[in-house]
Each structure stands twice: as C-alpha cells, then as structure tokens.
Structure 1
Amino acid sequence: MYQLDLAVAFSVATVQCGSLVLAVFRARTAAVVHLASIAVLVVAIRDSAGEPWPLPVTGLLSLGGLTVLLGVRERWTVSVSTWWSSIALLVALIVMSPQRYADPDHWGTNLTIYASYTATVLVAAIAAGQRGRIRADLAAARRDVALEQAQRLHVEERARIARELHDVVAHSMSLVHMQAMSAPIRLKGASTSVVDGEFQDIARSARTALAEMRQLLGVLRSDDADLLPQPQLGDIEDLVATVSRAEVPIRASIDADAHQVSPLVQLTTYRIVQEALSNVVRHAPTAATDVTITADGAALHVSVRNEPPATRPGPAATSPDQGGQGLRGMRERVTALGGRLATGPTDDGGFLIDATIPAAIDHQPEKS
C-alpha cells in the first residue's frame, strides 16, 4: 500500500516487536525504541501514494500492545507518559509534513482512532496492573504479619521457658545451697541419722530440680513429649515443708475453695509462692514467713509476707544467686492472666508479695 522497501519494512517491524519483548525487562528504554521506530515508519511512508494516515494499522496494533504491557507491569506514570509522548510525536510528524497532511479529515480521523483506542486500553491495563500490585502488597503484608507473629510467639515462648527454668533452678538450688552451707552449724554434734536425713533432703531437692529441667528439655526436643503433672495448690504443703528444713519458719493458710480454680491459675499461684520463698531463703534466711491464699469467688488472692530476719546472713550463708528475674517473672505470669501484682518492703523491715488473679469459683451447696 505504501510502496515501502521490504528490507525497511521488516527492519521496522522487527524493532517494534523486539521493543515489546524489551518492555518486559526495561520499560522506559523499550518505549523510546518503539516510538523511534514509529517515527521512522511515518517518515519512510511520507512520500508514498497511499492513504495519508500518519499511523498505519501495524503502528496502531504495536502501540496498543506497548500500552498494555506498560500499564500492567509499570507504574501508571510510565504508561501515561508514554501515551502522551506518542500523541505528541504524531502531532509533531503531522506538523513536519503540512503538504501531505493538508486535509485534517484524514489525519484527524487516524489520530482520533488511535487516541480513543489506546486510551481505553491504557485505562484497563492500569486498572489490572494496580489490582495486581495491590494483591501483591496485601500478600507481602500478610507475610510480614505472619513473620512478626511468629517472632513474637518465639520471644514469648523463650520468656516462658526462661521463667520456668528460673523458678525451678533458682528455688531448688537456693535450698540446696542454704542447706549445704548451714549444715556444719546446724548439724554440729547431731547423730548420724540426722546427718543422713539432711543430705537426703539436699539430694531430693537436687533430683526435683533435675526432673523438672528434664521435663522442660523434653518439651523442647519433641512435640510429642509426655508432660509430667504441673504443680498445683496441693503441692504447696510439700514446698513449705522443704523450705522449712532450711531453718525458715513458715505459716501457710490455704482456703479450701482455692483448690477449685483452673490448673493454670493453681500453677501460677504455686510459682509465685515458690519464688517468694526462694527470695526469703536468699535474702532473709530465718525470717518468719506467712503464706496466705484466699478465694472470694471472683479472684484468688496470694500473699507472702516475711518479717525482718532475726540476724543478718553472713557471706557464707547468702545464696550466690542474687535474683533479679524472679519478681519480673511473677509479674509476667500474673499479668498474662489479667491479674495484678504488688511487691515492696513493709514498714517493719520485711517484704510483701501480694497478687490478685481473676478466677471464677463456683460454690456448690453442700448435699445433705
């Protein structure tokens, strides 16, 4: 139709098709190359006897394909800029050849068809591209949230394990240390059976700590690990008896209704009492201590109050574990259950740990 040399026609067509492939990797470069090939084509057919359209059908199709690729894959600014550049290029080519494009009906129709057709394609491509990018952003946001949640759970699990290890090791090892260091004084002149019983208590405390540590390590090693029963309120009596062997006078009072709370609340209460007594052994040995656990139907109240020690413990009797994590661990446990914890020295020089843990208790009427 335009009497264009085949070599030039195939060269221009190759550049146009190649620029569409290039647009997948280098959008801006592809747009420049494609518009340059369109300019070469329009100039090459300027002197032909064919219909004086500035843009042949092949150019309409190739520019439409370029618009679709840029609209879907790139930001809207790139595709819109390319579209406006193509309009400006065609207008410039028309102005450069006033004699061939003297009749505005011919080039005006061609330009209108191109602008309306590519504008429709451009809007649809941008909408599809934006939808794809929004979906990709949402998927990335979900991955980030999942990763953040996994990291938070990891940190919480590490904190939980750290609390458990601290409660187990600090309490049991403090008792072992205090019993071992004070044994030469307390057992001076004692019979062989008393001495044997003392060392059996020390060994029993060490075995208990090892057993609980193995339980925690078993949970870490395997998801199918068999869990041993967790300490409950009924075990506080044994705990008090064990600590009392370290010359700590303890008075314990536990409401019968308190045993009706959930196992998790009972475990938390046990750990609070355990840590509080461990602090007494470490920092105020021989100090009289009161453990009180009451239930009022809506909450469980735990109070551990020790009086000032009768004598200041010497360096040999003081536990090398200076603590620092026990109170923090107690507060984390209580807060996790929606309760509150108050700690601090008393007016007489002692120390008080007071916790309130929400725990619904159903008072069943006694059957006749």
Structure 2
Amino acid sequence: MLDASLALVSAVECGAEGIPFARDAGIPVSAGIVFGLLAGSVLLLRRKWPIAVVLVAIAITPAQMGFLMGIVGLYTLAAAELPRRVIGALAGMSLVGTMIVTFVRVRQDMARGDLTLGDWFVPFASITTSLGLTAPPVLLGLYVGARRRLMESLRERADSLERELQLLAERAEERAEWARNEERTRIAREMHDVVAHRVSLMVVHAAALQAVARKDPEKAVKNAVLVGDMGRQALTELREMLGVLRSGEGADRREASVPLAAVGAAAAAAASRAAEEEGPCLSELDELIGQSAATGMVVDLSVEGETRSYAAEIEQTTYRVVQEALTNVHKHAGGAKTHVRLAHRVSEIAMQVENEPPPEPASAYAARLPSGGNGLLGMRERVVALGGVFVSGPTDAGGFRVSAVIPAV
C-alpha cells in the first residue's frame, strides 16, 4: 500500500513537471505528461529493483523531474542488502547529476536576470542542493538498513539461544532419566545382595532346624538363634537402605524448584552415593564366612599379599562379590566345600570363590532356594563399573568358580 501511494504521488509529480519540460523541449504537452507519468510510476518497483529506480531518477534529472523518486530511490537503495560500492557509485552519480543540472539552471536564471546574486551563489546553490537531495536519504537508508540487520541478528541469536536452551532441557531430562535408572539399578542390586544372602542363610538354618528338631534339641536351639540373628541383621540393613531412600526423596522435593540443579545433583548422587554410604568392608569377610560356616558349609578363606585398606567402593564391591558367590553356593550347591581366595597385589585386588561339586545325595537339611538369575549380573555390573574384570563359570571338576580382579589405583 505504501509503495503504491508513493508511486502515485511520484507519477503525479513527474506528470506535472512534464508540462514545463515539454514546453522547453518543444514537444506536445500531452507527450510530456505521459512521459512524466510513466517515469514517476517506476517508483512502484523500488523494493524489487532499487538500482533501476535510481538509474531512472538520474536519467530524468536533466528534465527537472523525479525529485521524490530520486529521494525515495536513494533511501531504498541504501537500506537494501547491496554492496557498499554499488550504493556509493549510484549515490555519487545522483550527486553529480543533481549538481550539474542545478549549476546550469542557476546560471541560466542569472543570465536572464531572474537572479541578481553574485557569482558565488552558483556553486553554493549547486553544492547545497545536490547534497540536500542526496546525503539525507542515503544516510537515513544506511541507518535503517544497519538497524534492520542488527534486529535480524538479535532475532537469530534469540532463536539460537532458545534452541540451545531447549537442547539443554532435553539433555537435562535425559540426564535425569539416566540418574533415575542408575539409582534404580543400584537400589535393586543392594536390595538383592542384602536380602538374598541373609534370607538364604535363614532358609538353610530353618531347614537344618526342621531336620534336627527332634533328634538334637540343643542343636535345634542353636539353629533357631542363628535364624533370629540373620533375620535381625537383614531387618537392620533393610532399615538403613530405606532410610537412604527417604532422605533421597526429601532432597529431590527440596530441589524441585530448580530442576536443572536437581538434575545435576541427582546425576552426581547416582554416580557416587554407593561410595559415600557406609557399607561392608574387607575386615568383615571373616564374619561373613563364619555365617556360612555356621550353616554347615565347609568354607575356608586364604589371603595372599599384605593386607591393606582400599577405597570404600572397592572394599564394598569385593565384599558383595564374595557374599553373592557364597549365596549362590547355598542356593545351587548346598553342602559343597567352598574355597575363598583373596589376593592383595601391587595395583589390584583379586578374589575367587570356588565350590566343589555338592555331595550326593544332598544333605538332609539342604534347602531348595529360588533364584532370580540376577546375582551374577549384579556382580559383573559392580566389578565392571570400577574398571575390573569378572569371570564366572563351571569348573572341570563339576563345581563353579567366580573370579574378579579390581584395579586398586
């Protein structure tokens, strides 16, 4: 709408200026008017072809028409996305053309006596008129073009920032999901290790209690005491784990108002909580093996190398591997003789739990224990998470062996 209005005004202006041009040129007035209307209407194409509009304005400058078209054309040219040398060249052509036409026109007026000023007025009028008709539209166009480019750049940066924030939010959500999965896996592994071992011992003792209740009441009482002790220990460890879960839930609620910070905290907690919590250590291996021996299992422990302390997560993993391996012996090879070996090396700690084939027939108090198939998987996950190697499988003699090596540096 604006372009059409400007083109209409320019056409009317050029048509009106075509009348004196036709008289001076000695052509019909109607021809001058038509020429002016056609030339002025070119302004309608200023956005699509600004160079053509400026060239037409320069071409009709000697006819003293197209002043509006020249001003608007120069403004559009300067504001367009064109090389500066093109803008400078066309602006210079318009400046020189206007200066020459003004110079000639003022000299003619002074020669006819229409102007009685001195000779100084001719160059003064030429320079000021040409600068007045050229410099303001060019400078304004350059400013508007630069401002438009700046706004587009800021808009692009805002869009880019929005995309980056969206990407960060997606990554944060993925990281939060990863943290939740890690926490679920860790909790499941801990629950399995705690419950499976204690309950397995309780079932074995209960089976032995059932077998000797009538024949040996004194031994039955001892087994009953052991069952009670195992149950209390299992309950204590379960309470500790549930306490950790409740404290973790409270921390998540406190950080709900800052999701990105909560995500980082959750991810860090999932990766390091196992190491920070107080858990079993190597000094408790004797007690662990003693609990299995109390069920009637023949189990021995041999230690190689100089005993020393390790990082908490290494000692916990070593303890859990031995614990789960003994639990598997209770489940699948009740009554089998078992050998536990622990080796302290320069840069690693190695462990091996190997059981011989179970006696045939099975002992009278051997219990049937269900297996979910998660024990070996949990042991492997623990060892691999610390950069270690885990191997398990049957032996040639018909038993089963679990071996693991964990870096200690």
TM-score by length of 2: 0.62
Q: How far 1:108 moved relative to its partner?
A: 4.7
**Quick one: which amino acid aligns to residue 142 of structure 1?**
L
Asked if 1:322 corresponds to 2:347, the answer is: no
Compared CA separation, residues 105 and 294, structure 1 to 2 (3 A): same
The answer as to 2:296 corresponding to 1:247 is yes
Match of 2:161 in 1: 135
CA distance in 2, matches of 1:167, 1:153: 21
2:233 aligns with one of 183, 186, 208: 208
Match of 1:21 in 2: none
1:232 & 1:256 partners in 2: Cα distance? 17
Distance between the aligned counterparts of 1:229 and 1:293, measured in 2?
A: 22
- Per-residue deviation, residues 3-49 of structure 1 (Å, max 9, x unmatched): xxxxxxxxxxxxxxxxxxxxxxxxxxxxxxxxxx2245236535654
Q: Aligned to 1:182, what secondary structure does the other structure show? A: helix
Contact 1:247 / 1:285 at 8 angstroms: preserved in 2?
A: no
Question: Which structure has the larger Rg?
Answer: 2
Confirm or deny that 1:117 pairs with 2:142.
Answer: no
**Taking structure 1 as reference, are residues 130 and 311 closer, same or farther at Cα in structure 2, changes over 3 Å only?**
same
Partner SS for 1:153: helix
On the 8 A contact 2:352/2:404 being kept in 1, the answer is yes
TM-score, normalised to structure 1's length?
0.69
Give, as a single letter, the amino acid of the residue that structure 2 aligns with 1:107.
Answer: M
Q: Which residue of 262, 270, 285 maps to 1:236?
A: 285
User: In structure 2, what is the equivalent of residue 332 of structure 1?
Assistant: 381
Native 8 Å contact 1:170 1:321 kept in 2: no
Q: Hey, what does 2:201 align to over in structure 1?
A: 175
Paired residue secondary structure (1:222) = helix
Deviation, structure 1 residue 125 = 2.8
Which deviates more, 182-191 or 196-205? 182-191
In 2, the alpha carbon distance for the partners of 1:275 and 1:128 equals 61
Take 2:289 and 2:11, find their aligned partners in 1: how far apart are those partners? 109
- Give the structure, 1 or 2, with the largest relative contact order (CA under 8 Å, sep 6 or more): 1
C-alpha displacement at 1:181, in angstroms?
2.2
Number of aligned positions between the proteins: 289
Deviates more, 1:350-359 or 1:305-314: 305-314
Structure richer in helix, relative to its length: 2
- Whether contact under 8 Å (2:14, 2:66) holds in the other structure is no
Q: 1:303 to 1:51 in 2, by over 3 A?
A: farther
User: Alignment partner for residue 6 of structure 2, among 27, 33, 42?
Assistant: 42
Q: 1:263 to 1:255 in 2, by over 3 A?
A: farther
Equivalence map 1:74-153=2 (5 Å): 87-88=47-48, 107-119=69-81, 120-121=145-146, 122-153=148-179
Deviations 1:46-102 (A, max 9, x none): 5654999xxxxxxxxxxxxxxxxxxxxxxxxxxxxxxxx9713989999xxxxx999
Question: CA 1:283–1:44 in 2, change beyond 3 Å: closer, same or farther?
Answer: same
Q: Work out whether 1:268 is the aligned partner of 2:317.
A: yes
In structure 2, the residue matched to 1:199 is 224
Shift in Å at residue 344 of structure 1?
A: 0.7
**1:185 aligned onto 2:211:** yes
**Structure 1 counterpart of 2:48, which letter?**
A
CA contact (8 A) 1:233 1:259 kept: no
Distance 2:386 2:364 in 1: 38
Query: Are residues 312 and 327 of structure 1, via their aligned partners in 2, closer, same or farther at CA, if it must alter by over 3 Å?
Result: farther
Distance 1:51 1:117 in 2: 27
From the superposition, tell whether residues 348 and 231 of structure 1 become closer, same or farther in structure 2 (CA, over 3 Å). Answer: same
1:208 maps to a residue whose letter is Q
**Residues 255 and 49 of structure 1: CA distance in aligned 2, closer, same or farther (over 3 Å):** same
Q: Distance in 2 between matches of 1:269 and 1:86?
A: 81
**1-side partners of 2:283 and 2:328: how far apart?**
21
Change (3 A) 1:313 1:105: farther
SS in 1 for 2:378: helix
Query: Per-residue displacement from partner, 1:251-307 (whole Å, max 9, x unpaired)?
Result: 111346344222221111110000000000000100110000011111000000011
